[in-house]
Structure 1
Amino acid sequence: MIRPRTFYYRGNTALPGHYRFIENLKMIEMKKVLIFFALFSVTFMGLAQNNDRFTSLFNGRDLVGWNMPGKVPGFEVVDGILVASPRNGSELFTEEQYGNFVFKFEYLLSEVGNSGVLIRCNPENPWGTGVEVQLLAPWTPYRDDLHCTGSIYGYVAVNNRPDETTGIWHEMEIKCDRKRITISVDGAVTTTADIDTVKSMQGKNLTGFIGFQSNHSKEGEYAHFRNISILDLDNDPEYVKKGFYSEDPEIRKQAMEVSVFKGSSMVKVLIQMMDEDNTMAQAGAKQALFDIVAGISAPNAIGKERVVVAKMLKEQSMDSTSEITAEYLKWLLEMLNRTITG
């Protein structure tokens, strides 16, 4: 018996059964492709947005944005690469200070290359005020886990030894989040440290400059750096705000200092904190607001900043839900207006 052929329809066109099967396969494959590109787009956009938040610290042409305080230069820019080759030359430091941040860069070490990254330090006494994240080729007999690449040199050993191959590029990321430091190499975490649990690190700066150590190996060896960028966590007022609620007085102090440094960008958040039911945060916010106003009232302060803060104080004093806060803001505004009109 001859079976009748089964027809399906696409639009007004009749298709035999086996053609319909092929059509279904095509549609399934097309859906898979569309899903793949949709997921890829979401992932790519997320990565792009994350990278957009980073600020480049090296333009590949010169050392704008950096300082070499010593008499003997320890760094130069060659073909778009930051090169540390003169032996025991000056270290290189950022012009800006950073407290909480994600610092990332790529590095390449020569066969016996020896360098490092200084974080939260004072350039006049970098190792006394801050710490060094080690960058070291695997040549020295002293390269144990406390002194190898990725360690906080002499303070915290790596718990996951990174790839130390010389002559190739690696990526390092250093995250300082309050009192927690996390170091990653090539995407894998090598070291984590809680300052409160490392007795020798207690009392170290929580805010300071970031620096690269010059070539501390023999003449002719080197360390190369490129794609240097930073995500300043303290640029987010909500992140800074959380520090005011910490039980740790050092973290509260850092949050207050950052707020005063950031100035007008923190005013609105500080005023909101004064309206909240937290005595400790209220006191910190009140002091920070006073210090901001006092700072921009100085004769050498930027006039534009005064006008911006004055406008915010006026608006917020009218919108505040607390009569005490409103009166305090009016008092600050009067103090600031005397400076503007005077």
Structure 2
Amino acid sequence: MIRQLTSSCQGNTVRPGRYRFIKHLKTIQMKRVTIFFAFLLISLAGFSQNTDRFTTLFNGKDLSGWMMPGKVPGFEVLDGVLVAAPHNGSELYTEKQYGNFIFKFEYLLSEVGNSGVLIRCNPENPWGTGVEVQLLAPWTPYRDDLHCTGSIYGHVAVSNRPDETTGIWHTMEIKCDRKNITISVDGKVTTVADVDTVKSMQGKNMAGAIGFQSNHSKEGEFAKFRNVSVLNLDDDPEYVKKGFYSADADIRKQAGEAADLKGASIVETLAQMLDENNPKAQAGAKQALFDIAAKKSAANVSKDEKKPVEKALKRSFKNSSSEISKNYLNWLLEMLSAD
């Protein structure tokens, strides 16, 4: 429209009103372009920051940080890639436990590939304690929306079927945020689940190992994995803190377990909660502080291991505004210093 108006004015005297109109349109157009590029830069910057926060779980050389509890190995490292080839071998699990996280990886399935990702599970009873996010080639007649790639196998069907092309690399991202689970493939959300609305997921773990399922197809088929990483949301004390304020007892319990794992780095955050007027959060923070201090009070813990907790408790004592809180913190300090 701008070009038409401009060309129609060539060779003629441009009336002031029309000139102002054209100038106004150009200004609007430039503002829109500026806003678009500003938004794009902000988005890219945010993505870069999130990517930097991920921790690599597979080094491309060996299985450091992982365990295979079964008698028959189900995985090996070939040319920098994690390969599940042996038929029905042992599943592969992280040595660390994760409650709230974003797990990201690339996968490639053979023509009849059948694997999966186990989340929040106990390796001794993975399907009983956790759930499986399916990875399945499209050959099988049983590949309905409740059992295809991206589904929470047998529990939650996909709402958006992903690209299931075999022989090429795909990216999957699994986000566990309290009782909300979101799964995406190649950047597109396939499945969203609220655990409380899925009867078959009631009583499942809120934290546990992350695992890859071994080759559950016939001999000669495989699944490959690379660029495996995790963003542990429970590494952020403020994220953990919010869990203590939840009305859901399961979420509060998991927050306490996450705080116990964090140890000294969350002590001051927990101590501040003692001064707040929220009985549930106070009770949870009090218990978490006790658990952290008790763990460091064990006979086999060295003085150097105790020091970070002692320092955090002393700073918390100094900054506390409540005598009741001060007394409790002092009691924890005495427990730590007792021989």
Per-residue deviation, 1:105? 0.2
- Report what 1:96 is aligned to: 96
Mapping of 1:239-254 within 5 angstroms? 239-254=239-254
- Does the 8 Å CA contact 1:135/1:148 hold for their aligned counterparts? yes
Equivalent position amino acid for 2:110 in 1: S
TM-score normalised by length of structure 2: 0.88
Task: Supply the distance in 2 between the matched residues of 1:269 and 1:40 (Cα, whole angstroms).
Answer: 35
Cα distance change, pair 33–254 in 1 and its aligned pair in 2 (3 A): closer
Which residue does the alignment assign to 1:85?
Answer: 85
Aligned to 2:266: 266
| Contact 1:264 1:305 (C-alpha < 8 Å) held by counterparts | no
Shift of 1:316: 1.6
* 2:184 alignment partner in structure 1: 184
CA 1:324–1:186 in 2, change beyond 3 Å: closer, same or farther? Answer: same
Provide the residue aligned with 2:19 in structure 1. none
Give distance in 1, aligned partners of 2:124 and 2:321. 47
Paired with 2:302 and 2:181, the residues of 1 have a C-alpha distance of 35
Give the % identical residues: 73
Larger Rg: 1
Change beyond 3 A, Cα 1:37–1:160: closer
Shift of 1:258: 1.0
TM-score for both structures, normalised by structure 1 = 0.87
Residues 94 and 211 of structure 1 are in contact (CA less than 8 Å); yes or no, is this contact kept in structure 2? Answer: yes
Shift of 1:36: 8.8
Does the residue aligned with 1:191 lie in a helix, a strand or coil?
strand
Looking at structure 1, the residues matched to 37 and 201 of structure 2 have their Cα atoms a distance apart, in angstroms, of 47
Report how far residue 32 of structure 1 moved.
Answer: 11
Distance 1:119 1:322, change over 3 A: same
Identify if the C-alpha distance between structure 1 residues 183 and 33 changes in structure 2 by more than 3 Å, giving closer, same or farther: closer
Give the AA of the match of 2:214.
Answer: S
Distance 1:41 1:150 in 2: 30
Superposed displacement of residue 314, structure 1: 1.5
- 1:257 matched residue in structure 2: 257
Post-superposition CA distance 1:214-247 (Å, at most 9, x none): 0000110000100000000000000000111111
Offset of 1:302 from its aligned partner?
A: 4.8
**CA root-mean-square deviation:** 1.8
Cα deviation, residue 47, structure 1: 2.2
Partners of 2:271 and 2:294 lie apart in 1 by: 16
Which residue identity lines up with residue 123 of structure 1 in the other structure? P
Change over 3 Å in CA distance of 1:296–1:198 after alignment to 2: same
In 2, the alpha carbon distance for the partners of 1:115 and 1:65 equals 20
1:244-279 deviation per Cα after TM superposition (whole angstroms, max 9, x unaligned): 111111111111111112111110110011011101
SS of residue in 1 equivalent to 2:171: strand
Aligned pairs, number:
310
CA contact (8 A) 2:268 2:315 kept: no
The residue type paired with residue 241 of structure 1 is K
What are structure 2's unaligned runs of at least 5 residues?
1-30
* Residue 57, structure 1, aligned to residue 57, structure 2: yes
Higher alpha-carbon deviation: 310-319 or 324-333: 310-319
Distance across 2 between alignment mates of 1:125 and 1:269: 34
Of the structure 1 ranges 302-311 and 230-239, higher mean CA displacement relative to structure 2 is found in: 302-311
